[in-house]
Amino acid sequence: MAAAAPLLSETFEFQASQSWCESFKSKHKIRQRHVTKYVSSKEKRTFDELLRIAAEFQHQTSSVISNFDPDFVINTDQTGCEYRISSNRTLSFRGEKVTQVAVGQLNQLTHSYTAQYGLTLSGKLLPMVFICLQEPNSKFGPRVQQEVTQMMDKYKNVYITATKSGKLTKDTYNLFLDKVLKPYVKTEPFLFIIDSWGGQSDVSMYDGKFVDEDGMPTCSLKVIPPKCTPLCQPCDVYFYRQVKNYIRRLQNCPVLITLRREITSRRDAIKIHSLVHNQLRAPAFEKMIRYAWFAAKLSLDREVFNNVNDIVFPDDVHTQKCDCGKSAFARCSWCREYLCFECYYDRYHPDECTEYC
């Protein structure tokens, strides 16, 4: 009514109503949405400017990408993970003032660590996932170091380090480049797309590490402008949502709830990421990973794809049986066999997957 008031006349009448509002919202695709972030008025005024900057970066990078092999157009980013990913909703009685949920250890909900994946334009993951755990002295004690070394020997697709905060520093990022990225790219020319975090945006750091047989630099670096990662970063735009969904499915498995068991230890965190990384490297997920590049507007190729829920946790999974006779929990993305939680997670199915081996 306030908007229509200046336009009202004898020839134009308007009466506000609920049906008119619903029709207007439907016509213009307006929905009531949950607020995901609060910003100041100043930041709001610069949002259009961010969109313009992001569009420029997307256009420039898209034109450069065609000069590289899709296997060597790489995006990497860090994601924070909790030892226990829990839902903040549950079933209870109407009118209840306080709703409580019992968990094993409260610090598992607040203490976090960092995982860093790398994905290529061709839809593949880098062969290893980099995990930075939280340790009070920024390093593992002798006993824990022995345990971590054993786990890296067992799970070949993880590299594990530690810092005091559980977040990467410039030194640990250098370790990621040496242990994860360099063994993959070797002396091949590649395009490396990263965000503007100061610990990784120093160009000289790459020129010294990545060279060909003649000593010439092989890394072409593209840095996403500040505050544009939600628009331009393939990892952020789609991929890490699938990773978090995968972890949540594992940690909130009905079998664990029934047994009052939790998989929230250091060993579990490492094992979970090894399993998730192994499963997401399957050819079945290549189209999904390529979609992340499309969603970031760095690729024009959009394909019909299946995500984690479609491939690993399909709707009919609970009607299937594992070979051991128990109800299935998940489906392997390599061999497509249905497996119970014990066979899938506890026995670490990739060790027995004939298709993967």
Q: For residue 210, what pLDDT is reported?
A: 96
**Pairing label, strands 330-331, 338-339:** antiparallel
Nearest to 183 by CA among 242, 130, 255, 126: 126
- Asked if 333 contacts 312 with a C-beta cutoff of 8 angstroms, the reply is yes
Q: Is the pLDDT of residue 110 over 70?
A: no
pLDDT digits (tens, 9 = 90+) for 138-149: 899 999 999 999
Describe the crossing of helices 240-251 and 266-280 by its angle, rounded to 10 degrees.
Answer: 130
Euclidean distance between the first and the last CA atom of the chain, given in angstroms as a whole number: 67
More confident call, 42 vs 82: 82
Structure tokens given for 296? 């970031």
Structural domains of the chain, with CATH: 44-85+106-313 (3.30.420.10), 314-357 (no CATH)
Which pTM value belongs to this model?
A: 0.85
Can you tell me the distance from the alpha carbon of 152 to that of 162, in angstroms, rounded to the nearest whole number?
14
Q: For the chain, give the number of residues.
A: 357
pLDDT digits (tens, 9 = 90+) for 208-255: 899 999 999 999 999 999 989 999 999 999 999 999 999 999 998 989
**Amino acid residing at 90:** T
Structure tokens given for 143? 């006993």
